[in-house]
Structure 1
């Protein structure tokens, strides 16, 4: 079947991505921080993005920002001082977080690659543990989408794994993986440590207070993250 035989449709796409020389991947992999991106814009050979860098401490976040300064592809990085949350305020995504505005070489960033091919960000993208996850919308045919994805792989020397492809007009099947992607990093952290330490075993191998102490948060805060994670996985979260 050729493109002329197919109808264009609005597709929802989720992609897991690794590509070389990405400062966001480098910082999350080497420093252990995380990043949430809020979109991109392209003007000529420059790409622009606002993103939130989060970590366990102010020093942790600053280390991640230093990685950005060292990247040969970052032209400008500015902290957005009125962003929320600020240093010292506990956030849903990390103990401390900082918003930054970045200008980079548009021939290198994934955001610029997607925008130039007609993709639209369908949610904030995120980078954790050295891997980018993008949720996108694109209006195209299936065969054209596959070719475009191959072109981006070659152009950016990227490993791109398609984890979801569905028409935007139809209800999305809610899978365990999809629900896990809806967790905030703090919720995922609480759930992971609870599983590893035997909280769900019977009899329980660890107390809530022990888990909260391990993550350096209050018992109430830990339970809030854990219960919200459980609710989302059971399909009752927001």
Structure 2
């Protein structure tokens, strides 16, 4: 019998959003425990949650007694323990491509506009809002430019980031585009990204994972 899955999530966290998409694509039942990243000084810093996730970040996924952190590690774990439907293609070279696309977003774009980075700029260095916005938009624009080129320049890109079934890279792309709109990045230069996003959001698994559809949405 499969153990119950519990996801500690914040409605607007792009990392938690990735995992919600992955869980939905695999058709898995899970309970959401909201962790508000701003309220009460940030509920992720509460001792009980810090004991669960020492980084004091979301998401955290509990699979029975097993506690998992870091969104890409969680998605890879789900792929290994619940392999169908697959988030990664069968061939090693194709898997490497999909992982590279996912990491471009999760490791190179997202950390530079993460909430704790922006809070540090504000609270410790007192960086003006306009300069913080310039920082965010610069790194998003640079990352999306590389991603657009990578996706538009190969026949391996299909309806989705890799072929005609959604996978790991799409789980990362869609939340980052949501973030980009929050910060008013001009997405006109990225037609391939927008086309793939539209195909993703037409699917129930992606729609159910949207921030506005979460139980803790403000």
Instruction: Give the TM bin, normalised by the shorter chain.
Output: under 0.3
The structure with the largest strand share of the pair is 1
The structure with the largest helix share of the pair is 2
Greater Rg, structure 1 or structure 2?
1
